[in-house]
């Protein structure tokens, strides 16, 4: 290999590494944001007064209060966005819920509503 080929290879290799680092960084930030959403939903389950305020019906409120000790887990990776409100599907125990979240700032969210599917 001559010097020109080595220089071209090193330039393209550098671009490839930058793109790879960008993709890894985007995936890391995406996972961090999803964990912050789940943390906001879990923090709601600690306080029964908050559950009463954000539950959209009595069936949802009763189930959340009775089963608050279970862990939330994701059903799917899809997050829907409508007018600044994020709709996130999570499971608690054996029931599926739609958590409606709003951004407080860049890293934190708060729950504005919960509905049982």
Q: Where are the domains of the chain?
A: 3-116
pLDDT in tens, 81-107: 999 899 999 998 889 999 999 998 888
For 41, the 3-state DSSP assignment is helix
Q: Give the global pTM.
A: 0.80
pLDDT in tens, 21-80: 999 999 999 999 989 999 999 999 998 999 999 999 999 999 999 998 888 888 777 889
**CA atoms in the 13 A half-sphere facing the CB of 64:** 32
What pLDDT score was predicted for residue 75? 79
**Token code pair at residue 34:** 């999803």
What pLDDT score was predicted for residue 106? 82
Q: Tokens 């306080």 — which residue?
A: 47
What pLDDT score was predicted for residue 85? 93
For 42, the 3-state DSSP assignment is helix
What pLDDT score was predicted for residue 78? 80
Structure confidence at residue 5 as a pLDDT band (50, 70, 90): confident
pLDDT at 2 over 90: no
């Amino acid at each position: 290999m001559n010097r020109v080929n080595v220089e071209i290879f090193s330039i393209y290799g550098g671009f490839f590494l930058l793109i790879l680092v960008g993709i890894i960084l985007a995936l890391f930030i995406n996972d961090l944001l999803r964990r912050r959403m789940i943390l906001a939903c879990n923090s709601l389950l600690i306080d029964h007064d908050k559950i009463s305020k954000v539950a959209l019906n009595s069936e949802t409120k009763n189930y959340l209060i009775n089963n608050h000790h279970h862990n939330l887990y994701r059903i799917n990776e899809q997050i829907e966005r409508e007018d600044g409100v994020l709709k996130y599907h999570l499971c608690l125990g054996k029931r599926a819920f739609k958590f409606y979240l709003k951004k407080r700032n860049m890293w934190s969210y708060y729950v504005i509503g919960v509905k049982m599917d």
